[in-house]
Structure 1
Amino acid sequence: LQKVFRVIAEAPEFATQQTQRFFPSAKISGEITPEYLGVGYIIGPRIAGVLVAGGVLSWLVLIPLLASLVPADVIAAQLVKQGYLATITTPGGPGGWDPAAQNFGDWTTAIYRAYIRSIGAGAVAAGGFITLLKTIPTIISSFKSSIGSIKKSGVEGVEEEGVKRTEKDLSIKIVGIGSLVLILCVALMPSTLIPGQSIGAKLLLGILIIIFGAFFVTVSSRIVGLIGSSNNPISGMTIATIMGTCLIFLAVGWTGRIYEPMALVVGGMICIAAANAGATSQDLKTGYIVGATPRAQQLALFVGAVVSSLAIGATVKILDTPTAAMAAQGIQHAIGTEMYPAPQGTLMATLIKGIQSQTLDWQFVLVGVFIAVTLELCGIKSLSFAVGTYLPLATTLPIFIGGAIRGIAEWRQRRKGVVTAPEEEDLGKGNLFATGLVAGGALAGVIVAFLAAFENTNAGLQKVNAEHSLIEGLGAEGYKWLGVAFFALLAFILYRIATSRVKESEQIDLRE
C-alpha cells in the first residue's frame, strides 16, 4: 500500500511557519513505516523515550531557536560552506533557498542541514567515546580471556578442556592475523584501488582502519544492544572516523586534495565494519538464546560477509547505472541524483574538505559534544540521546510510539498480575509481531528500490501510483491524515496482539 501504490503517505508532517511569532519553524513529522514501529516495541519505552528526547531537542528547541536568531542569508552561506548550495545566489538546495526573496521555503530543513547535523555528529562521537570508556573494563577482561585461551590451547585447533560448547569462539589469533593481513593488503594495493602516494602512506591507512575499527566496532555492538540495529548511527560513526582521520592527517602535515580520498577510504571501511559489528552482535545473541556454537556462527559469518559483499557490489552497480535520460544530460552516476540523492555523501565530502582546508565550524561539533557530556552528568545514557539528536524526528517519533505501546501493554499485564520471565518476553506475541514488521518493511523497501532501478519496472510502478489521485480527492492535508490513520490502525493491531492472552496450547516451554 505504501511502497508500491502510495496509498499511505510516507512521512506526514505538521510544521509552523517562519512568520509564526511564538514558535517559528517547528516541525513534527513521522515516517509511516512498520519497521520503525516494530523497532520501538522491541527496544522498549525507556530507550525509545530517550531517543525521541534527542529529536525533540533538535526539532522543537534548537531549530525554532536558530530560526528566531539566525538570518536567512547566514543560513544560506552556511549551506554554501557545506556544499549544499553552489553559491548564495543559486536557488534551491535544502529548504528551497530563494536568493531573490532572501528566504527559504522550508526553514526547518535548511537549519537541520546547516547546523543540527553537525551538532548531532559531535554528540554521537562524544557519546560513542563515553560508551567506549565505560566498556573498557569489559574489553580488557575479554582480551585477557582471549590471551589466556591461546596459552591454554597450545596448538591451534586443539580445544580447551572444560569449555562449554556454547562458549567456544574462534581463536584470537585469527583476529590478529586478519588485522595484519588487512594492513598489508591496504599497503600493497595499487593506487588505482587504494589512494596513496607511497606504501608508507597506505600503511598508515591500514593502521588507522584497525584502530578506528576496534573503537567503533565496540561502540556499534553496544548501540545495537541498546536500541537495535535499525537505529545504529552508522553515518555518525563514519563521520567521526573521517574527522579523526583528517585531524591525524593534519598532525602529520598531510593537506591537499590528494589526501581527501584517503580519508574517505578509512571512513568507508569503518562504515562497513560498524555495520557488520551490529549485525554480528544480533546473530550471536540469537545463537546464545537457541544454544548455538559461537565458533560455527563466526565461520558462517565469514562466508556471509564474502557472499554479501559480492551481492551488494552488484546491487550498487545496478542502482548507480544512469537511465537513458540521465546519460543524455551527461550524468554518469545515478547515485547522487534526485533519484538516489545520498545526502550523507555530501556531508562527508564537506567535512573532509573543511578539515583538510581548516575551515570546519568546530563550534557546532563541540556543542554536540557537550550536550552528550551534560546528559552523562545527569545520569542519562548519552548515546541514545545523541542518536536522536542526529536523526530526523520523523525517524525517532514512530520508534517512540512503538516503545510506548510496549510500555502500555506491560503496564496492563502488571495490573492483571501477569508475570513474564525475561526469556519469555523475547518469544511473546508482541515481540514476534514487531520482529515481523521490521523484517517485512525492510525487505519490501529493498525489493521496491531494486524494481525502481529499471526503466520498464519503474514505469509500471508509476502507473499504479495512487498518490496524485488521492491528493486531488482528499487534498494534501487529507492525504497526510490518511497516512496517520493507517499508522494508528497498525499501532492498534500491535497493541491488541501484544495484550492478547497466550493459549495454553501455544505456550513454549523454555526449559526443554
Structure 2
Amino acid sequence: MDKNSNFKPYIPADKIVPEFTVTSVLIGLILAVVFGAANAYLGLIVGMTVSASIPAAVISMGIIRVILRRDSILENNMVQTIGSAGESLAAGAIFTLPALFLWAEEGKIEFPSILTIFLIALFGGVLGVCFMVPLRQALIVEEHGTLPFPEGTACAEVLLAGEEGGSKAGTVFKGLGLAAFYKLVADGLKLFPSEIGYAFKSYAGSQIGIQVLPSLAGVGFICGPKIASYMFAGGTLSWFVLMPLIALFGGDAVIFPGTKPISSLAPGDLWGSYIKYIGAGAVAAGGMISLIKTFPLIIRTFKQAMASMSRKHSNSSLRTERDLPMPLLLGTIVVIAILIWIIPTFPVSPIGALIVVIFGFFFASVSSRMVGLIGSSNNPVSGMAIATLIIATLVLKATGTVGTTGMVGAVAIGGIICIVAAIAGDTSQDLKSGFIVGATPIKQQIGELLGVVVSALSVGFVLYLLNEAWGYGTEDLPAAQATMMKMLVEGIMNAELPWGLILTGVFIAIAVEILKVPVMPFAVGMYLPFSLSAGIMAGGAVRFIVERIKGTDKEKKERTDRGVLFTSGLIAGEGIVGILLAVLTVFEVNIALDFSLPQILSLVIFIGLLLILFRQCMKKDK
C-alpha cells in the first residue's frame, strides 16, 4: 500500500462536484441500451464485442461540455460507467442465450420468454457488480501501478483530456454517421452488395470473398493487425484447406451430420454442415487452454479475493473510499441464490444454486484481475462459460435433470456465469477510471447496477428482434459461441455430437497453441465465414500502415487514438442501423431498390471507406 499512498486523484476526496445527476444517469442509460444493442448485433456476427467505455465518455463530453455547457469530469465518468454496462451484459448474453432460440427453432422447447431472458441477464449482471465491489480495494487501490487496467486507464486519460472533448466526440459522430448511411445504402436500399465472393470451380470447396461493411473494418482496426491476421489465418485454413479436402475425399458420400452428398454442397453448405463443428471444437479447446494457462493466477486471485472479503472499507469517511455496504451485498447475493433455486427456469437444487454463486464469485475475481492485466478484449469469458457449461451439464445429468429441461438449465446457468464474468470485468475497468479521476465508488456501483437493470430489460427484445429478422446460426448471424455451447450441451446430454469433427478442431487448436499462436482469435476465424475474417483483416491492415508511418511516439498514439474513436463510431453506427433494418424485416417493410451495382463497385466503395479511415487517422488535431 505504501507505494500507492501518495496517489492523488484528479478530483480530491474532499471536493464535491456534480456526479450522480439526472443528466448523467439519463445519458448513461440511453447509451447502455444503444451500445448494448449495437454490440449484441456485432457480437452475433463476428463473435466478439468492443468496449463501449471510451465512445460513451467522448459522446458524454460532447453533450455535457459542448451542448449543455457544463464542466464536470465526474458526470462524464458516470455516463461511461452506466453506458458500458450495456455492452458487457450484451457480450455475456449473446455467448449463451441464442442457444435457447436454436432449440426452439428445432421444436425441442418453447421460445424463451422475455421474462426468462431478463432474469438470467439481471441475476448475472447484479451478481457481477456485487462480487466485484469487495475486490476494489485489493485490485484497484492496493495494486495501482501494478495492474494497468488498459481500457480503464485509457478512458481516464480521455476524461482528463476533457478540453478536447468536443473534437473527440465529433470524431465518434463522424464515424457513426458515415457507417449508418453506408449500412442503410448497402443492406437497406441494397444499392450495392455488402458481401462479394467467388467460388473456384477448379479447386472445389473453396471460396474467396469479403464482407464490405464498416463494422468489420472497425473491429479489425481496434483489434489491431496481429489479432486480425490470426483470425484471417484461421479462416484461410477452413476455407482453403479443410473444405477443399472434404470436397476432394467426400465425393458423393453423405457423411453425418450432413444430409446431402458432399459433391452437391456449395462452399457455404460445407461450412454449415462440417466446418462449424470443427471450428466449435477449436473454440472450445481455445477457451479451455486460456483457462488452464491462467490457473495459477486464478488460484492467487481467488485467495486474495477471499481475504479482501473480510476487510471493511465501506465505512470510510473519505468520499473516494466509500463502497456499497457489505451487508447489502451479501443480502443481495443470498436473495438471488434463493431465487435461482425457486424459479423453474433454473432446474437446480439449493446446492446447485450455491454452486452457481460460488462459481460466479470465482470467475468474477478471475475476470477482474484478467482485465487488469491484459484488458477486456483478451478476457477469456467464453472459456469460463464453457467450463461452467460442461460442469453444469454433467451435474444436472448426474442428478437426474436430463433431456431438454437439463439442457435449458445448463444454458441458463452458463448464461448467468458468462454475464457475471463480463460485468465484473467491465465494473473493474470503470472503477479504475473512477479511481484515477476521483469518482465516488458507491455512486459508480449504483450507476453500474442501473445500467445492468436497463440493459437486462432491453436485451431480450434485441435477441428476439434479431432472431425474427435473420435467425441464429445462419450466415447472416452465425452466433459462433452460442451455437458451439448448444452443441456441447447436446453432446454431453444426448451423446449425439459428430465427435470426429469436434476433436479435429480440438487438435488443430492444440497444434496452434504449440506454435505459440493465440488460439482464440485463430479458432474464431476458423469458425466464421471467410468473408468476415477478410473484412476484419482489411481494418487491421489500415492500422498496420498507420503504425508504420514515421512520427514521434506521441504522434503515433494520437493517430491510433483518432482511428479507435472513428472506428468505434463505425461500429455503433452500423449496429444501430442493423437493428433498425431488423425491425423493418420483421414488419416485412422492403426498402430495397430494383437494381444493384456490380460486385466490383462494392469493393471500390469499401476501399474508399478504408481511405477515409486512413485520412481520419492522419488528420492533425486543431
TM-score (norm 1): 0.71
The structure 1 residue matched to 2:608, chosen from 480, 486, 489, is 489
Further displaced range: 167-176 or 366-375: 167-176
2:530 is the counterpart of 1:418: no
Tell me if structure 2 keeps the 8 A contact 1:212–1:241: no
Residues 444-463 of structure 1 correspond to what in structure 2 (within 5 A)?
444-453=577-586, 455=587, 458-459=588-589, 462=590
**1:37: Cα distance to partner?**
0.6
Further displaced range: 347-356 or 120-129: 347-356
2:197 is the counterpart of 1:13: yes
C-alpha separation between the residues in 2 aligned to 1:111 and 1:223? 37
**1:103: Cα distance to partner?**
4.6
Tell me if structure 2 keeps the 8 A contact 1:41–1:431: yes
Q: 1:282 to 1:54 in 2, by over 3 A?
A: farther
Q: Which has the larger radius of gyration?
A: 1
Residues 72-221 of structure 1 correspond to what in structure 2 (within 5 A)?
72-75=252-255, 77-79=256-258, 88=259, 97=260, 103-106=263-266, 108-153=267-312, 157-159=314-316, 165=320, 178-189=332-343, 191=344, 193-194=345-346, 196=347, 200=349, 203-204=351-352, 207-208=355-356, 211=359, 214-215=362-363
**1:405: Cα distance to partner?**
0.7
2:393 is the counterpart of 1:393: no
**1:489: Cα distance to partner?**
0.6
**1:218: Cα distance to partner?**
5.0
Is there any run of 5+ residues in structure 1 with no aligned partner, and where?
A: 80-87, 89-96, 323-333, 507-512
C-alpha separation between the residues in 1 aligned to 2:506 and 2:324? 37
Aligned to 1:300: 447
Provide, for residues 71-95 of structure 1, a one-character-per-residue CA deviation record: whole Å limited to 9, x for no partner: 34424x413xxxxxxxx4xxxxxxx
Provide, for residues 364-392 of structure 1, a one-character-per-residue CA deviation record: whole Å limited to 9, x for no partner: 22222222222222222222212222222
Further displaced range: 47-56 or 345-354: 345-354
Q: 1:243 to 1:31 in 2, by over 3 A?
A: farther
C-alpha separation between the residues in 2 aligned to 1:105 and 1:124? 24
C-alpha separation between the residues in 2 aligned to 1:217 and 1:30? 39
Aligned to 1:327: none
Secondary structure of the equivalent of 1:74?
Answer: coil
C-alpha separation between the residues in 1 aligned to 2:500 and 2:326? 41
Kindly tell me the number of residue pairs found equivalent between the two proteins: 437
Residues 312-391 of structure 1 correspond to what in structure 2 (within 5 A)?
312-316=459-463, 351-391=488-528
C-alpha separation between the residues in 1 aligned to 2:419 and 2:432? 20
C-alpha separation between the residues in 2 aligned to 1:170 and 1:29? 51
Matched letter for residue 207 of structure 1: I
**1:485: Cα distance to partner?**
1.4
Aligned to 1:63: 243
Provide, for residues 324-351 of structure 1, a one-character-per-residue CA deviation record: whole Å limited to 9, x for no partner: xxxxxxxxxx967999988777766555
The structure 2 residue matched to 1:263, chosen from 391, 410, 413, is 410
Aligned to 2:188: 4
Q: 1:320 to 1:430 in 2, by over 3 A?
A: closer
**1:410: Cα distance to partner?**
1.1
C-alpha separation between the residues in 1 aligned to 2:453 and 2:568? 26
Q: 1:375 to 1:104 in 2, by over 3 A?
A: same
C-alpha separation between the residues in 2 aligned to 1:132 and 1:26? 33
The structure 1 residue matched to 2:457, chosen from 293, 296, 310, is 310
Tell me if structure 2 keeps the 8 A contact 1:241–1:267: yes
Matched letter for residue 194 of structure 2: E
C-alpha separation between the residues in 2 aligned to 1:424 and 1:402? 18
C-alpha separation between the residues in 1 aligned to 2:325 and 2:419? 23
Provide, for residues 445-473 of structure 1, a one-character-per-residue CA deviation record: whole Å limited to 9, x for no partner: 122223433x3xx42xx1x312x412xxx
C-alpha separation between the residues in 1 aligned to 2:373 and 2:529? 21
**1:354: Cα distance to partner?**
3.8
- CA-based RMSD of the aligned residues comes to 4.1
Q: 1:46 to 1:258 in 2, by over 3 A?
A: closer
Further displaced range: 261-270 or 298-307: 261-270
C-alpha separation between the residues in 2 aligned to 1:483 and 1:138? 47
C-alpha separation between the residues in 2 aligned to 1:256 and 1:69? 36
Q: 1:236 to 1:109 in 2, by over 3 A?
A: farther
Residues 468-487 of structure 1 correspond to what in structure 2 (within 5 A)?
468-470=594-596, 478=598, 480-487=599-606
**1:268: Cα distance to partner?**
3.7
Secondary structure of the equivalent of 1:498?
Answer: helix
Provide, for residues 44-78 of structure 1, a one-character-per-residue CA deviation record: whole Å limited to 9, x for no partner: 11121112111111122111111211234424x41
C-alpha separation between the residues in 2 aligned to 1:310 and 1:234? 22
TM-score (norm 2): 0.60
Further displaced range: 112-121 or 263-272: 263-272
Q: 1:321 to 1:104 in 2, by over 3 A?
A: closer
Aligned to 1:92: none
Tell me if structure 1 keeps the 8 A contact 2:224–2:543: yes
